Structure 1
Amino acid sequence: MINAESTRWVANVPVATVWTEPGKVRDIDAFGTGEKTDINKWIKAMSPEESMDLVSSNRVQTQLLYGEPVLIDEVVDGWAKICAVWQPSKKDERGYPGWVPLAQLKEVDALSEAGFARVIADKAQLWTEDFKPLGVAPFNAMLPVKEVGEFVRVQTPGGDAFIMGEQVELAPSVDRIAKGSGMDVAQLAAQFLELPYFWGGMSSYGFDCSGFSYNLLKANGVIIPRDATDQAEAGLEIDKDDESVWQIGDLLFFAYEEGKGRLHHVGIYFGNGLMIHSPTPGKAVEIIELAGTVHEKELCAVRRFTENGEADF
């Protein structure tokens, strides 16, 4: 267990995948489970069937971004049972639970006095003090700030590093990111068009549907639950049967059996009858018309987290 007063455990790779249990890992997943990861190679290595198997066999829970803190409950055979404290979930009131290779975590000093630098670029290069490449931080990664300038000095699991000031936004904490509007949410979402879907994905290497909505809201100052089923019970309820009251940036939820069965998908309303979403394995972030699609029949809820150009809380 960590000492919450002086140190914390954080992700030590650009993206650490959180598994339902260690036994769910397959040979093909080596690029995502080693001490060094390569998400791009992992995605390319998987066949469509192997990618879908991440979903159908309930292998992956979520992902952690570089520097994201976790609580460790226990360590078994090189695997850590963790809670992702920045990802709200009904599965555990402390944060999203699951298993991560211990080699992908590192204990660091618990710094927060100067706030955090949140990566706003798709991916940002980190540099050592003598200007050598240290690693890459993906979109929405948040690293403790040590010094602000043209290059921001941040704490990373690999030691102090510098990141270009224009590639980050400063925030006091994860729950005090600058607020954005529903239009901001939609415009930012469009920057990820054609990014491949990835089950459990929480990064600019690949999102799943609820990872996409979670990260777009987080980037605009609103922390929502990690999973779509929990997201559908949060925010402000909007009449799903009256499209005229929907606003750009609202979240649209979909369930089997024409909206009466199990909830299985979430997208972001793009205005004018359009939705932007990360659909399913084998596909990529896209904007679609709702009319005439299965989504039109399966719509089960609309929730609002931003309103009138500003977040509603």
Structure 2
Amino acid sequence: MSRIHAFCKASIAPVRAEASDRSEMVTQLLFGELVEITEVADNWLKIHSFMDGYEGWIDSKQIQDLREKEVARWLDGLVVEHSEFRIVQGPEGKQVLPKGFFRPSDSEEEFQIGKSTYRFLNEEDAKPSSLIDFALSYLNAPYLWGGKTMFGIDCSGFMQQIHRVFNYQLPRDASQQVEIGLEMDFEDREAGDLAFFISESGNIHHVGLLISKDEIIHAHGYVRIDHFGSNGITRKMDGVHSHKLHSIKRL
């Protein structure tokens, strides 16, 4: 394949030995790290890091392509951020970045990488006013099989964590969470309901939170907002139908 370059747009992205979420994590990419894509396997990409030459497989939704000129521009004057955490406003909402991420040396207020612009924010922590507001604070957190934090979370871990703050104790896995709550007809759905999704093999394999009748927040590559309908989830970024609806539950 021709040379394709990209940057890590997730705060932290796991790099795995094989093209599977269940495969061993061999390293991580931090936001802004440049890679070359060397192989494609379904939704997985084999990458070669510019920074340390390490190779492995990454979820394709956690990186974004760059043109040759954009690569050169990004590498010019690049520095490593030393602050404990920084919050940026980017194309897909707010994002918390850990120390060690990459940014241009002259970027104190905002910076651009490829076609994406990021602006630094200064915010104080505040108790979330609602379940949905708290869920939105996780936007752009990277997907990590088994994860439960801003820097790596899976779909059911996400639902468990946001409900726990409001004293709802959910089981760990989506296949367990689907067993609780009151099942709702699709026409009666409302913001705050949980939606569960079924795989081709008939297993409950995904869960998300409705933030309106037609939108859902869920962890899929990263925590994101997508379209929700009677057939399930349709990704906003490319119009792909990604998850088949099983049921809607209200706690």
TM range (shorter): 0.3 to 0.5
Name whichever structure is richer in strand by fraction: 2
Give the TM-score normalised by the residue count of structure 1: 0.38
Give the TM-score normalised by the residue count of structure 2: 0.47
Name whichever structure is richer in helix by fraction: 1
